[in-house]
Chain A
Amino acid sequence: MVKNKKKTRACILSISLVGIIILGIFSNTVVALQISANSTYQINIAKGTEILEVSRYDESSWEETINDSPESLFGGDAEKINAKSKYTTLSWFDNATTTYEGFISLFISLEMAIVVSTLGFNQSVINSNYTNKYDSWMVYRAKWEFNSTDFPESANNPNYLTPVFKDPADYKKLLDDYNNWTDIINNDIGFLAMGLPAFQNFTADEFLWQLVLKGMIIATPNNEYLEALVDGLGCSSKIEVNGNELTITKTGIKSYTVDVIYGAQGTQTSLTIKDKSGNIIYEVTTIYPHLIFIYIILGIISGCLAVIVVVKIKAIKKRRLEMTSVKIN
């Protein structure tokens, strides 16, 4: 009796432990620790990898419609069908993003920042002139550019930073500060003497497009955040938000639309470029390896259950045979 109780307790303990492990493994959404309680939005991103694949590319339609090439817009081998790009989300944390950090993350490359710092436009100068600080989640990711072959072991950018502003209206403030700064630096004698191309001013629409190209992450609820972002930036009627879908109407050689759908994690699940007639010219879809893992786990569990059932059935049959032979004897 005592032995049975001990066995039962050990059984319950083992099952609870296994249950906790499985729960931990299946959990793929984590609520971020919040320092600021004022944010009405939550970041819903999870650690792991997402793979972006070029699923459709109509080269002739593209050349007739869009000014730029896919590789100039999306980088790497983006002009090849089945080319893949990869983001691995490593960590994120609450951050008070300075103006300089915002410029580096969203507008100018680190290399250019180093060049202009020699002209006196360094981190401390920019931050002292533009004193805004933006409550944000700073997301660290590793990025692999579009590649038509297997991914290299090392990421093209192992420290890819993406700030996600807690207040979508902050994007407008940063944009205004940046446009103000570009007016100053583009007229700086030292910068002009370098012969480098001028820093581009962005309209609200162009800035939003840049955010999309840089792999923007949005907070949840997706639709509210997107609407607040578009309204806050003061985008034109060419930008529409429909639930978790962002539609951007652009003009190259001809008019075309870009539909970007954001998933539960706040990252892009698909990007589709269509011509005026609605025909798809270019499409990038996102694959989540989490799903492969879930299928493997389900397969293992099903296999184990099948084995247990078969063993039980055999044991029952054997017992019945033994009982029958005992009765006959």
Chain B
Amino acid sequence: MVSGGKCGMSDLKKSTKKKKKSKLNDIYLDVKPILNTYIFELKKNSKKFVIFSIIICLLSFLFLLLTFIPESSLNVTQSDYLQDSLSIIIMVMIFGACFFFGGIICSEFSTKTGYVVFPKINKYKLIIGKYLGNLTLFIGVIGINYIIIGLLSIYFYGTPVPIRFYYSFGISILYILAVSSFVTLFSSFMKSVNMTIVVTILILLIVFSIVDQIIVMIMPDFEPLYSIVYVSNLITSILEVDYPTGAERYTDHVMRGFTFRIWHTPIIVMGIMVLLLYMVICLTLAALIFKRKQI
């Protein structure tokens, strides 16, 4: 009885171990297509990564060249220097997001590779792999920009780099997630990659700004938190030593009895929530549209 019991215990242990192994194996098999697609996207889009990295380096070099002109004044504080240096990064992020994520979904349909790939591979896994691959490359590009700016600030001002610089990088990553989700949404229903890129650049650069101005003119008290362009100001404004609060977050200009209000930056928590909402809503909508898309 005792020996039988001992055998029973060891068999139980073995079967538990086997179950665990097979579970892990199942998870690995589930994740493997995503991993393969992720690595494939990294290799496939490495040229885009290099091109954008070169653009970032060139822009940083031009900014540095301007700084080295004797009459061109350097910023007094390190925080001001970091703010000025990061002012162009938002434009780079918009263009980069459109180029990296414009073809996430629509490229499978425009080139008709979806007919070959999707019956064999779970389409969601493919898209997740593509999204994560492009996201990694794009965060890498922005990371390079932050490293260059951080190094230059050490050159001019010494260590330490303020901790708010790292907060700014964190907000940039959230912004990349939001903008990339926005572009992925458009990619899910547009027919061609080029159209997706053009339309999303136009919306992000022009349409949002015009809509913001119209709404602020009609309702000056209404803070344009819906606008991803307005929320992007958080990336540079978080570098301020005393983060603006209350009435410091906007400037009123009165002209002929009419008040124009310029909003500078959202509250940090609200800004982060808006970016996360953009990400969740856009990705959810993109998934739903993609699901219904007929091959």
> Do the beta carbons of B70 and A30 come within 8 Å of each other?
yes
Q: How many residues on B have C-beta within 8 angstroms of the other chain's C-beta atoms? A: 28
Complex: chain A residue closest to B71, CB-CB:
A93
- The segment from A21-29, A58-66, A268-276 found at the interface with B is A21-29
CA–CA, A89 to B72, complex, Å?
A: 11
Complex: chain B residue closest to A46, CB-CB:
B68
Q: Is B64 an interface residue when CB atoms closer than 8 A count as contact?
A: yes
Complex: chain A residue closest to B80, CB-CB:
A153
Q: Which of A18, A47, A155, A297 contacts B67 (CB 8 A)?
A: A47
CA–CA, A33 to B69, complex, Å?
A: 9
Q: Is B95 an interface residue when CB atoms closer than 8 A count as contact?
A: no
> Do the beta carbons of A17 and B76 come within 8 Å of each other?
no
Q: Which of A48, A153, A158 contacts B156 (CB 8 A)?
A: A48
A89, A91, A93 pick with most chain B CB within 10 angstroms: A91
Q: Is A307 an interface residue when CB atoms closer than 8 A count as contact?
A: no
Q: Is A185 an interface residue when CB atoms closer than 8 A count as contact?
A: no
Q: Which of A17, A49, A153 contacts B241 (CB 8 A)?
A: A153
Q: Is B57 an interface residue when CB atoms closer than 8 A count as contact?
A: yes
Q: Is B92 an interface residue when CB atoms closer than 8 A count as contact?
A: no
Minimum Cβ distance to chain A for residue B59 (Å): 11
Q: Quick one: CB contact mask for A288-320 with B, threshold 8 Å, 1 for yes?
A: 011011001100000000000000000000000
> Do the beta carbons of A158 and B76 come within 8 Å of each other?
yes
Minimum Cβ distance to chain A for residue B66 (Å): 11
Complex: chain B residue closest to A290, CB-CB:
B155
Q: Which residues of B contact A153 (CB under 8 A)?
A: 77, 79, 241
Q: How many residues on A have C-beta within 8 angstroms of the other chain's C-beta atoms? A: 35
> Do the beta carbons of B151 and A17 come within 8 Å of each other?
no
Q: Is A92 an interface residue when CB atoms closer than 8 A count as contact?
A: yes
Q: Quick one: CB contact mask for A1-43 with B, threshold 8 Å, 1 for yes?
A: 0000000000000100110110011011010110000000000
CA–CA, A292 to B60, complex, Å?
A: 20
Q: Which residues of A contact B152 (CB under 8 A)?
A: 25
> Do the beta carbons of B151 and A296 come within 8 Å of each other?
yes
Q: A21-B57, A140-B73 are in contact. Are A296 and B68 (CB under 8 A)?
A: no
Q: Is A51 an interface residue when CB atoms closer than 8 A count as contact?
A: yes
CB proximity to B under 8 Å, residues A130-158:
140, 142, 153-155, 158
> Do the beta carbons of B76 and A293 come within 8 Å of each other?
no
**A90-B73, A296-B151 provided; 5 other pairs, C-beta below 8 A?**
A17-B58, A21-B57, A153-B79, A292-B154, A292-B158
Give the interface of B toward A (CB within 8 A). Answer: 50, 54, 57-58, 60-61, 64-65, 67-68, 70-77, 79, 151-152, 154-159, 241
